[in-house]
A = this chain, B = another copy of it.
Amino acid sequence: MLVMASVFAFAQQSLWGGQKIISPEIHPDNTVTFRFFAPKAVQVQVTGDFLPPRQVESQYGKIDVSGVADLKEGENGIWEYTTPNPLASELYNYTFIVDGLKNIIDLNNVYVSRDVASLFNIFLVKGGRGDLYSVNKVPHGSITKCWYSSPSLGYDRRMTIYTPAGYENSGKRYPVLYLLHGMGGDEEAWITLGRTIQIMDNLIAEGKAKPMIVVMPNGNVDQEAAPGESSWGLYKPQTDKLPRTMEGSMEASFPDIVKYVESNYRVIKKKSSRAIAGLSMGGYHSLHISKQYPDMFDYVGLFSAAIIANDKADSPIYQDFEGKLARQFEHAPKLYWMAIGKTDFLYKSNQEYRKLLDRHQYKYVYRESEGGHIWRNWRLYLSEFVPQLFE
């Protein structure tokens, strides 16, 4: 029963990739260096949300696109770029552009996220807001990916459920936040791009949020599950695969989700212990679900909500809009929270919705942030919304 340890080490070594480069390197002063080994390349660039965005003209007016910075070739074919200034503490994304080839993943950084059909690297700058998105030495909740039966839709569907630290042993019942994703997202989006697990663990550990269950379903009713997790196989994610996103079926089938959660988890089955929030399309869903079932939610969060006139929407869900809203606000939610970025393309439609709420004197809280329709804002909104729940 002998094999030379050196042979074992050698065989493992071959699995290790081999590059000894560190990238990104976050320096003590929070400047960051990116490195890429490409001895034959003529140009290597980096792009991501850590760079100031560029404004470009489009047929729809000025829009923000990610900035681009040039790396310089150094010794041994290793290209390098260091940010001129320290970065604010945040979770950032980036990819390289090598001789015009876009979306090249950093070979020295295994941490990637997917947004619809694209992958990009991520990194965390600590010392501020980024600490909230980090895994810290605090009690950790559990995350479960399970399947629930949806009789309304006719098949089983996958969802993601966060239970707070101590859930397993406490014997207690918990309030529930239902947290919905945007178009192109799925039941994975909030825990990957949204850092929900870390935000919840950290806020609860700091005593800033009540221990609660967070339920993250899939808002695309034609999908059983996220790309790669369903019987559709390992297909290329595309919008046109999802014809039914904002036409009432998600809202109509939502009680199936609540039923599963309330049958299988120790939850408090009361309006005062239920919250719903969503980003973009998920904000649209949250708006319509909360008014369709006016006795269900005492807390509503609309994050950059896609409050749009939907010409496909002949569903009964969308009919009698103002009448249903009136019924919802007869016993008004304890918190109706709207947040949007100043440069969000949905800014105007959100202001118009505010006018409607104001006209009827429906009470809500409005939060305006910098920036546009981006995950940085949705993580921010989640971390501000959650401490206000279940007071």
Tell me, in angstroms, the Cα distance from A38 to B103 when the chains sit together: 12
Tell me, in angstroms, the Cα distance from A323 to B108 when the chains sit together: 46
> Are A140's CB and B156's CB within 8 A?
yes
Minimal beta-carbon separation of A61 from chain B (angstroms): 9
Contact residues in B for A365 (Cβ distance below 8 Å): none
Given A15-B116, A147-B165, A231-B135: A101 and B38 interface contact (C-beta under 8 Å):
yes
Contact residues in B for A373 (Cβ distance below 8 Å): 11
> Are A16's CB and B264's CB within 8 A?
no
> Are A136's CB and B236's CB within 8 A?
no
> Are B233's CB and A124's CB within 8 A?
yes
Residues of A whose CB lies within 8 Å of any CB of B are: 1-3, 5, 7-8, 10-17, 22, 37-41, 58, 60, 63, 65, 98-105, 107-112, 114-119, 122-124, 126, 134-137, 139-140, 142-147, 156, 158, 165, 168-169, 183-184, 225, 227-231, 233-234, 236-239, 263-264, 306-311, 345-346, 348-349, 352-353, 356, 373
Pick 16 A–B contacts, CB within 8 A, sort by A.
A1-B308, A1-B349, A7-B60, A15-B184, A16-B116, A40-B100, A105-B105, A108-B117, A111-B234, A112-B112, A123-B234, A126-B233, A142-B144, A142-B146, A143-B146, A168-B264
Given A108-B236, A109-B236, A233-B134: A310 and B60 interface contact (C-beta under 8 Å):
no
Tell me, in angstroms, the Cα distance from A158 to B197 when the chains sit together: 13
Tell me, in angstroms, the Cα distance from A145 to B225 when the chains sit together: 18
Minimal beta-carbon separation of A164 from chain B (angstroms): 12
Look across to chain B and name the residue whose beta carbon is closest to the beta carbon of A59. B10
Contact residues in B for A122 (Cβ distance below 8 Å): 234
Contact residues in B for A8 (Cβ distance below 8 Å): 306, 308, 345-346
Tell me, in angstroms, the Cα distance from A362 to B117 when the chains sit together: 53
Minimal beta-carbon separation of A239 from chain B (angstroms): 7
Tell me, in angstroms, the Cα distance from A348 to B239 when the chains sit together: 53
Q: Nearest 5 A-B pairs (CB), nearest first? A: A142-B146, A3-B349, A17-B118, A140-B147, A144-B144
